[in-house]
Structure 1
C-alpha cells in the first residue's frame, strides 16, 4: 500500500508546560534517523555531531558536517537524510511565542522574529560564527543535562540575542520593497501548499493563487528567490522525496514514483538519473550495500568487544544505551 507522502504538520506538545522545549539525540538506531519532510509552528535548531547530513528548508539545500548548525524558523517545511550510517545529529524544538509577552524585555525583537519580519540566517559554523555557535551549544547542553527551566530559558535568550548582536539576520522591511515584503511573508504558505499536494498534479495557476499573484509575475518572483522556475523546483523536491523513500521504504520503484507525483515511470527514471547520476534501482542498491557494510563492520566490532571487559568499555556502552533511549 502506498503511504501518504504529504509533508506532515506536526502538532506535538514540546517538553512540559513549565519547560516547553524538546531535545532529540538521533543516530542510526533512532526511528526518525531519516527526517521526513514536515513543518510545525515551532522553531528548531539542529547540530551535526558526526558524519554528514543533507537538509532541505523550503528553497534551500544544506550539506552539513560536524560543527555546523541550522536554525529553522516556524512554518518552514524541512526534511533530509544522513549521508551515511555514521551520522549523529541533535535537534531542539521550541515554541518561540511561549518565551515572551509584551512585558518581556527585548520582546520587540522576539516578536519580529516570530512574525517573520526579521529572517535569521539559517546556517552557522564553528569556524565562521564561533560566538553564535557557542550559544547553540549552551542550549543543547542545558537540555541534554536536564538543567532547570530558568537556565534553559536563559540559554535560549542568549542564543537569540547573540544572533541579533552579531547581525546574523535580514530585516525584510529594510532591505526589500513594500510589495516584496508582502510576498516574502506568504512564501511559507506557498511551500506548505506545494509540499502538501506534490503527490498530485499542481498547476502554475494554483501556486500563483497561493501568493495572490498573476502566473507571469509569480514565475519571475519565484525564480528571483530560488534561482529556479516553480515547476522545476517542484520536480526536484519530488525527486528528493523519492530518493529518501527508496532508502527508507519497501515499496516498488513504480509505487514510489506514483506517490511522489510522477505519472510516467519512464520519465521518473530518466529524471532521477539526471538528478542523482544513477537509476532509482542503482540508488537503492547502492544505499543498501552501504548499510549492510556498516552493519557488518559493527557486528565484527561487537564480536571482538566480547573479549574486552575493561571498565572503560562498560562505561562507553552504558553511555551509548542512554543516548539511544533519549
Structure 2
C-alpha cells in the first residue's frame, strides 16, 4: 500500500493591510467640445491620502479633467471614479465625497461670510443645530473667524480663495479638487494657501491641485503629472520624472591644477556627458543614476584634481516642465 501523497501547500492569502484604495481612478478619459478635443487620453490612479499636482499650460486639459471629476462635464468618453463611485452613473454620491474649488470665485458676493457658509451648510443638508459648530470649525481652519460678519465682496482675493476652501470643507469631503488655488495671489497669500493645504494633507485628505507654480507643487505633492495638449507627458514623484527624462545633473568645480589633460581625464569618467571650462569654474554634466555624487567626487580626485569647490545642482521643476512640453529631454 502506497503512502498517500502529502497535500499541496495552500498559498497564503495576499496581505491586504497595506492596500490603499484609489480615491481617483481615471481611465482613457477623452473630452471634446465640438470638434476640439481638450483631453486626448488621460489615465490616473491616485490612492487615498495622496496630494497629486496637475501641471500644464493653459488649454492643456487640466480644468476639463477636473470638471469631469466634479460631475460638471457629463459628456466624456472613458471611465472616471471617485472613491470607487462612477462619476457618470452616481454623480450625487460623488458630490458627497468630493469638494471642488474652481479657478474663479463664483456668485453670492453680496452675502456676509456667515450667511455664505450657512447657505452652503443648508445646501449640504447639515442639521440646523449642527451648522454653527461646522461653520466655526471651517472658519478656524481657514483663519477667517475674524471675517465672519464681513461681506464676501469686501474680502481680498486670498481671503476669497480661503473662503472657497471653507465652503467645500463644510461636508467633510474625502477628495478635494483645487483648480489653480494660488492663481493671482500675492506672495504672502500664496504662502498662507500653501500652509493651509499642508494642514489638509496632514488631515488625510486626498488633494488634486492644478497649478503653474511648479516649485511649490514639488514641495507639497507626493506625485505630479505634467500635461500638455490633452496628454499626460510624464507623472510620478519629482525623482521619478528626473529618471524618466534621463535628465542631467550639474556639478560646478574649482580646481587648483586645471589643465587640458585633467579635463580629458574627467570627461572619461563613466556617466559624465559634458565638461566645460568657464572663467572661474568647470561645469560638469552627468547622467542621473549612472553615478552617485560621492563616487563622482572620488573619481575626479582620483583623476588628479586638487578640488577647491564641488557644488551640485539639479534642474528644477520649471526646467523639467519646459523640456517636457517642448518634447526635449536633453
TM-score, reference length from structure 1: 0.25
Between Structure 1 and Structure 2, the one with more helix by share is 1
TM-score, reference length from structure 2: 0.25
Answer with 1 or 2: which has the greater Rg.
Answer: 2
